[in-house]
Each structure stands twice: as structure tokens, then as C-alpha cells.
Structure 1
Amino acid sequence: MVRPALPHPLPGAVGLSHLSAYGWEAADEVCGGSPHLHLVCTEAYVVTGGRGAVQTLSPDGYRDITLEPGSLVWFTPGTVHRMVPRGELRVTVLMQNTGLPEAGDAVFTFPPELLADPGAYAAAAALPPGIGPETEAAARRRRDLAVEGYLPLREALLAGDDGPLRRFQRAAARLVRDQVPAWRELWRAGALAAAERTGAQLDALAAGDFAHLDAAGAHQAAPTRIGGYGMCGRRDEYTLPGTTTPQ
């Protein structure tokens, strides 16, 4: 019987968190989170309360997607996204490849000079530990930097020019390239192991072997940090198999 590489991951080794969008007003007089993209992870929003939108940038253009209770929206790697509250927006986030976003798969839309300097980027993206005033101030500065870089990308797309967005995508890919070996190990232990485990179970059932059912059991978890400062808003987090320390 194949044992999980990680003990009792969530289905498919996905990540899970709950978000309340930031209410801070940005330079464009819009409240919301820090625009960013993921390099290899698809992210989904399940809206559980309030209303708002997610603004997305992709080679197909700019979209402002309405979020309301029951909405399900997801975006694939390379899609810049920015959560915008229009009320007390509350979202449950499902993240592919648990652990990878926190390990650097998520890249903020900082201005080009920061993206070109890994040390400067890391310093601008880092937050002090905890959830006190110093951390809040740093999270707000980080958000403002991301919006500063995001607005020219959006303006260019609205004018029909996807060149700046594509240059940002390339800069993000260069920025994280050295981290790929570590990501690969997280993926092998998480999402890949989950898929391979299902394959082994299917093979066993086809052969009349159901011994893996002997390991059946229920598991539960509660948030281990309430109100942390995430990319999009205040974040309730779970310590689950495969997760890493949030940025």
C-alpha cells in the first residue's frame, strides 16, 4: 500500500486560507490587495460573504470580475490579480500546490527596478513577524509598491498593448528561477504524491486489493493564525502538511 509522502494532506494537496480584503485606499483611490501573479499555481476564490471584485490582467486583456456570495473564480499561472472589496468581502482561497506560493511562486507587481534586483525585491516583499502595527505598516507599503507597478500594466492593456505585462511576466520568471529546485521537492512531496497515490489505489482496486482502506480515518484542523497579513488581505491560515511559512 502506498503511504502519503506528507501525512494527511488536504484533497489533491491544495492549500487553504480565508481572506478579508484590505480596506486601505491605494494611489488610484481604490481599496484592495497587492496585485501579483503565480508562476506555476492556479488559485481559486470562493466568496463566502460581502461583495467586491477581482481585477485581472492577462494577454487577453483587463477584466473586473464581480465577487458576491457563492461566486467561484479561478486564475491560472501568469494572471495578475488584485482583490478589491466593495463591502465586507470575505473569501476562502483554494491554492494549487500547497506550500509553493509561500515559497516564492507568488511575485508582486513591483516596479521594474525592484524586479531586476533579487535582494531589493526580497527586502520590499518581506514583512516583520507578527500582526502588530509594524507589520501592518510594512504590508501597506508592500501593497502600495505593487499597485505602483500594476497601474502602468493595466493602462497599457486597456490601450491594447500587452508588452509591459509580458515583460513583467518574464521578469517574474527570471526572479524565481533559482528557487525551482526547492519548489520541485515541495511538489513531489505534495501534489505529485497525491496523484500517484490515487493511481496506485486504482491499480490495487483493479487487482482486487483494497488494503488501503484499512488506513481510513477522519482529520480536522483549525486556523493557527488569525488576521495575518497576506498578499490580498488579512489572512486566517492553517498549519497543514506541505505548507511553509507565509511571506
Structure 2
Amino acid sequence: MGGFPGGTAVSLVTVYDWPTVDGQAGGSPHLHTASTEGYVVTSGTGAVETLSGNGYQRHDLARGTVLWFTPGTVHRLINGSGDLQLVVVMQNAGIPEAGDAVFTFPEATLADPEAYSAAASAPAAPGLTETERGEATRARRDLAVDGFLALRERVEAEGPAAMKPLWDSAARLVSSRTETWRKLWADGPKAQADATGAHLDALAKADPAHLCDAHVADAGGPAAKWGMCGRLETWDLRP
């Protein structure tokens, strides 16, 4: 059984303390189309604003808070204390990194695949200095916040049905990626679930063969990145 338990990915996020147009500091609002995301808060205080089938909600965050949200839930991290840090556990390791995130850019940008791609990938442009990557990340965040605030206003006025245009746009934007994602899922989470089934079959027969393959794995040191919600420390935990 290879890869991190459950075929999940883990990262450490130090949430951005950059202020936004509405006076709150934090990251880029976005949603995932195929993966559930979980937060385990390790220090600081803040909040996550969400837009989902439950409408608009604001959830307070403090050390020890554990919450998670399913695909399609727009989430915006707010750094209240200036030192908010959390561990993020992502379902389907590899799929989020392969494009399973859609920013809440304004509708005109979401409707234009080329404009969307340019805005979403701006911080990864070749030849940028670290300072320039940070500036591009902040500009991307600001664009996503603009779209989020307009969407939040519609959801508060019209209810969760106002989310439908964003969900339609998100599905269109990622539809061409699903074959790549399917292989990542098959080699990761599905393979682990299938292996567990085989282990249970073996144990029912008192067969310990898989126990003889017991071992310890070490992911090594993390890599630092400019993330959507904050500075990331990530590990490659796939098989």
C-alpha cells in the first residue's frame, strides 16, 4: 500500500495577511470540483467564509478547529490574528495539484477560458522573481475576492440557486482534465481502498502475508510555494 494514508495530501498553510478591498486579510476564494478539503487549525485565529448549498456562512477558526467541505463549496480564508496557520488535508492526492480548483473570478473572466487561464496561472509565469510571484499571487487573490463579494451578495439576496452559474463555469473549465485525474484517482485512493479490501479478505483466512511487507516511509523536507490561501509547505506523498 503506497502513498500517504487514504490517498490524501497534506500541506501546512500560513494564511496571507494581505488586506483586501473589504478590509479583511486572507487568501483567494475558490472551490474544488472533485475533492473534499479539511482544515486542522494549529495556531492563530480567523475565519473561513463559505458559499454552498447552505448559502453564505462564516465559520470561526482557532487552534483545534477541525472542519471540512465538499466539492463545490467556495471557501475564503480570513486571517484575523495575523498568524493563522493550519494543516490542510486534501482528498485525492494529485488531483488538486492537477487543476482541481476554480477561482471565483468575475463572471466575464470565468466565461473566457483564455482569460481565466491567464489570471489563474499568472504567479507561475517563467522568469519571475520571488517578489514578482508574490505580487502576482496577491493580484490573483484580489481578482478572486472581487468575484467572491459579488457572488456573496447574490447568494444572500437569491439563495443558493445563485451558485449555479459558477458551478456551470467550473465544470466547463475542468472537463478536459478528467482523464488525467481518473488515473491519479485509480493509482491513489482507489488503489488503497482496493488494497484494504484484499487485506481484509486475507485476514479473514488468517493469512498475514501483507504484514510481512511492513515498512516506514519518510516524505523528507517540505517545499515552499506561493499558494492560493497562503504560503504553503508541501510534500509529495503519492506512491
Q: In the alignment, is residue 54 of structure 1 matched against residue 52 of structure 2?
A: no
Distance 2:18 2:221 in 1: 24
Distance 1:222 1:18 in 2: 14
Report the counterpart of residue 108 of structure 2 in structure 1: 113
List aligned pairs for 1:161-200, cutoff 5 A: 161-200=159-198
Contact 1:22–1:234 (CA<8 Å) still a contact in 2? yes
The answer for the alignment partner of 2:141 in structure 1 is: 143
Q: Which residue of 1 aligns with 2:77?
A: 83
1:190-239 Cα offsets, whole Å, 9 max, x none, are 0100100000110111122110011101122233313x111111111112
- Render the CA deviation track for 1:140-195: whole Å, top value 9, x for unaligned: 01101111111111111222433432110111011111111111011000010010
In the alignment, what sits opposite 2:226? 229
Percentage of matched positions with identical amino acids? 48
- Give the 3-state SS of the residue equivalent to 2:92 in structure 1: coil
Deviation (angstroms), 1:131: 7.1
Which deviates further from its counterpart, 135-144 or 114-123?
114-123
User: Following TM superposition, where does structure 1 have runs of at least 4 consecutive aligned residues deviating by more than 6 angstroms?
Assistant: none
SS at 1:197 equivalent: helix
Match of 1:239 in 2: 236
The range that moved more, 75-84 or 199-208, is 199-208
Contact 1:223 1:239 in 2 (8 A): no
Q: Which SS does the other structure have where 1:97 is aligned?
A: coil
Q: Which runs of 5+ in 2 are unaligned?
A: none
From the superposition, tell whether residues 223 and 146 of structure 1 become closer, same or farther in structure 2 (CA, over 3 Å).
farther
Cα-Cα RMSD: 1.4
Q: Distance in 1 between matches of 2:107 and 2:200?
A: 48
SS at match of 1:157: helix
Query: What's 1:16 paired with?
Result: 10
Distance (Å, rounded) in 1 between the aligned partners of 2:178 and 2:117:
16
Contact 1:46 1:92 in 2 (8 A): yes
Structure 1 portions without partners, runs of 5+ = 243-247
Does the 8 Å CA contact 1:18/1:236 hold for their aligned counterparts? yes
1:203 maps to amino acid: D
- Give a deviation string over 1:104-135, Cα, whole Å, max 9, x none: 11110011122122222111111236871011
TM-score (norm 1): 0.91
Equivalent residue pairs, number: 235
Task: Output one character per residue of 1:52-86: Cα deviation in whole Å (capped at 9) or x when no partner.
Answer: 00110012111110100000010001100000011
Q: Aligned partners of 2:79, 2:116: CA distance in 1, in Å? A: 27
| Contact 1:62/1:158, CA 8 A, preserved across alignment | yes
- CA separation of 1:171 and 1:89: change in aligned 2, threshold 3 A: same
What amino acid does structure 1 have at the position aligned with 2:213? A
Name the structure 2 match of 1:208: 206
What letter is aligned with 1:233?
G
